[in-house]
């Protein structure tokens, strides 16, 4: 398996532009997570999906951020309009189904390094 695939690996954009990050989870995984990593705030969970349905988006910082999962093999995280403070590394992760007494580990993609100037 190729693992979790993210694109692009690097994105440089100007403030005010729309940014779309893409993720392909591991085939067969039921959960998909979007994280943001910065030096100041560490690793933050933004949103996660179960069977393509958003379960918890309480970590999405503002309405400028939106995420979709149209099917089991694809998800997007969109920022519109982008701001310099959105500069971070964005990770996608996926895992098998979660049971109360048998949580499965998450597998992370390589990340997208976003720079907003």
Partner 1 sequence: AQSVAQPEDQVNVAEGNPLTVKCTYSVSGNPYLFWYVQYPNRGLQFLLKYITGDNLVKGSYGFEAEFNKSQTSFHLKKPSALVSDSALYFCAVTGNTGKLIFGQGTTLQVKP
Instruction: Catalog residues that contact partner 1 under the rule CB under 8 A.
Output: 4, 31, 33, 42-43, 45, 48, 50, 55-56, 91, 93, 98, 100-103, 105-111
Closest separation between CB of residue 76 and partner 1, Å? 18
Taking the CA of residue 8 as centre, how many other CA atoms within 13 Å lie in the half-sphere pointing to its CB? 9
- Shortest distance in whole angstroms from residue 25 CB to partner 1: 13
Q: Give me the least distance between CB of 101 and partner 1, in Å please.
A: 7
Nearer to partner 1, 56 or 83 (CB): 56
Can you tell me the distance from the alpha carbon of 29 to that of 93, in angstroms, rounded to the nearest whole number? 10
**116 touches 83 (CB < 8 A):** yes
The torsion angle over the Cα atoms of residues 94, 110, 68 and 60, rounded to 10 degrees, is 90
Of 12 and 43, nearer to partner 1 (C-beta) is 43
């Amino acid at each position: 398996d190729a693992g979790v695939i993210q694109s692009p690996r690097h994105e440089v954009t100007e403030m005010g532009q729309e940014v779309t990050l893409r993720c392909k989870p591991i085939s067969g995984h039921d959960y998909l997570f979007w994280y943001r990593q910065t030096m100041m705030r560490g690793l933050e969970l933004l949103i996660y999906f179960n069977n393509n349905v958003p379960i918890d988006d309480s970590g999405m910082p503002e309405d400028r951020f939106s995420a979709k999962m149209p099917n089991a093999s694809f998800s997007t995280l969109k920022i519109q309009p982008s701001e310099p403070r959105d500069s971070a590394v964005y990770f996608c992760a996926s895992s098998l189904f979660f049971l109360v007494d048998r949580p499965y580990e998450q597998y992370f993609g390589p990340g997208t390094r976003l720079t907003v100037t």
